């Protein structure tokens, strides 16, 4: 574990210099939030009106949290980097190293996005405050639980993104899979809470990665209850195991393919 912590720390330090880039990048994020805020304002004729159980205040905060999770993730870059590693054969250098590749990727990427996530969190909170004039009422313990679910959500998403990047072992265009995955999360998980979808789809979504990687933390933020919190944490733990397993499995399969090719 210590070596992963070390990788994580080094990565954080080397990313300190890019804070300026995060600030400029935020302009783009802000615009996205601005558009969605306008959309909700247009949709809600009266801010206290409830649509599928959400008022405008909750709806906007929901989007802010899901967008924050998504923007912090940097998934496209991660998928690009891993598939590049696979295609150029760099991944082979990791085979003989005394660490788990999945652990290495996780530590590097989380270190990579650590600073960015913190800066973005602050900026997104300010944005929400400017748009809506206040936060949902939460206790300190609630906030800590929400942060925990956000971290878990990011870890799970990182593992899924890594798995997709590793698909480059088998498919030339692994980035296309990332597109599909990102569309899936963006359409079904960030703009609307899953309550907005018809019955069957709602059922499916509550078992899908959407529930653990974006809906969960955002739902807790706008409408905290302990029963939902436990439910989400449990689902996240299960998904953590699943996503880790998938990632490790694809990596092992893929590496074997390299060895065969290398003769």
Q: What is the CB neighbour count within 10 angstroms for residue 182? A: 18
User: 3-state DSSP call for residue 54?
Assistant: strand
* Whole-number Å distance between alpha carbons of 111 and 121: 16
The C-alpha atoms of residue 97 and residue 60 are separated, in whole angstroms, by 46
The structure tokens listed for 192 are 């609307």
Residue 45 makes CB contacts below 8 A (sequence gap 6+) with: none
Of positions 5, 6, 14, 38, contacts another protein by CB under 8 A: 38
- What is the closest distance, in whole angstroms, from the C-beta atom of residue 45 to another protein in the complex? 9
The smaller minimum CB distance to another protein, of residues 22 and 150, is found at: 22
Q: Which is nearer to another protein, 183 or 256 (CB)?
A: 183
Cα–Cα distance between 259 and 96 in angstroms, integer? 12
The reply on whether position 41 binds another protein by CB under 8 A is yes
Q: Binders of another protein among 160-199, rule CB under 8 A?
A: 172-173, 176, 179-180, 183-184, 186-188, 191-192, 196-197
200 contributes a contact to another protein by CB under 8 A: no
Q: Check binding of 35 to another protein (CB under 8 A).
A: yes
Q: How far is the CB of 90 from another protein (least distance, A)?
A: 20
In the range 43-102, which residues lie near another protein by CB under 8 A?
A: 43, 51
Smallest distance, another protein to C-beta of residue 247, A: 22
SS (H, E, C) 176-207: HHHHHHHHHHHHHHHCCCHHHCCHHHHHHHCC
Q: Which is nearer to another protein, 173 or 225 (CB)?
A: 173
- Closest distance to another protein from the beta carbon of 199 (Å): 13
CB 208 within 8 A of CB 234: no
Q: Is 14 in the site for another protein (CB under 8 A)?
A: no
Spatial distance between the Cα atoms of 167 and 147, rounded to a whole number of angstroms: 30
Least CB distance to another protein at residue 201 (A)? 10
Nearer of residues 189 and 217 to another protein, judged by Cβ: 189
The rounded Cα 42 to chain-centroid distance in angstroms is 28
Minimum CB separation from another protein for residue 180, in Å? 7
CA distances from 90 to 107, 112, 187, 249 (A): 18, 19, 34, 19
Instruction: Point out which residues bind another protein (CB under 8 A).
Output: 16-17, 19-21, 24-25, 27-28, 31-32, 34-35, 38-39, 41-43, 51, 172-173, 176, 179-180, 183-184, 186-188, 191-192, 196-197
């Amino acid at each position: 574990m210590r070596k992963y912590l070390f990788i994580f720390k080094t990565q954080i330090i080397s990313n300190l210099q890019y804070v300026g880039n995060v600030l400029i990048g935020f302009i783009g994020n802000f615009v996205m939030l601005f558009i969605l805020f306008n959309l909700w304002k247009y949709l809600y004729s009266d801010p206290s009106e409830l649509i599928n159980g959400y008022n405008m205040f909750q709806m906007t905060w929901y989007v802010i949290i899901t967008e924050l999770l998504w923007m912090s993730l940097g998934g496209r870059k991660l998928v690009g980097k891993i598939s590049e590693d696979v295609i150029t054969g760099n991944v082979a250098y990791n085979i003989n190293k005394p660490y788990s590749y999945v652990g290495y990727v996780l530590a590097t990427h989380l270190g990579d996005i650590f600073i960015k996530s913190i800066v973005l969190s602050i900026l997104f909170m300010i944005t929400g405050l400017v748009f809506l004039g206040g936060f949902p009422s939460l206790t300190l313990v609630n906030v800590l639980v929400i942060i925990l679910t956000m971290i878990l959500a990011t870890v799970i998403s990182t593992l899924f993104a890594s798995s997709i990047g590793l698909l480059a072992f088998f498919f030339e265009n692994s980035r296309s899979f990332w597109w599909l995955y990102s569309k899936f999360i963006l359409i079904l998980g960030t703009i609307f809470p899953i309550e907005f979808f018809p019955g069957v789809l709602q059922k499916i979504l509550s078992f899908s990665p959407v529930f653990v990687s974006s809906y969960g933390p955002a739902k807790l933020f706008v409408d905290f209850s302990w029963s939902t919190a436990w439910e989400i944490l449990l689902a996240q733990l299960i998904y953590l195991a699943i996503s880790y397993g998938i990632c490790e499995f694809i990596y092992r399969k893929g590496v074997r393919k390299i060895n065969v090719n290398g003769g």
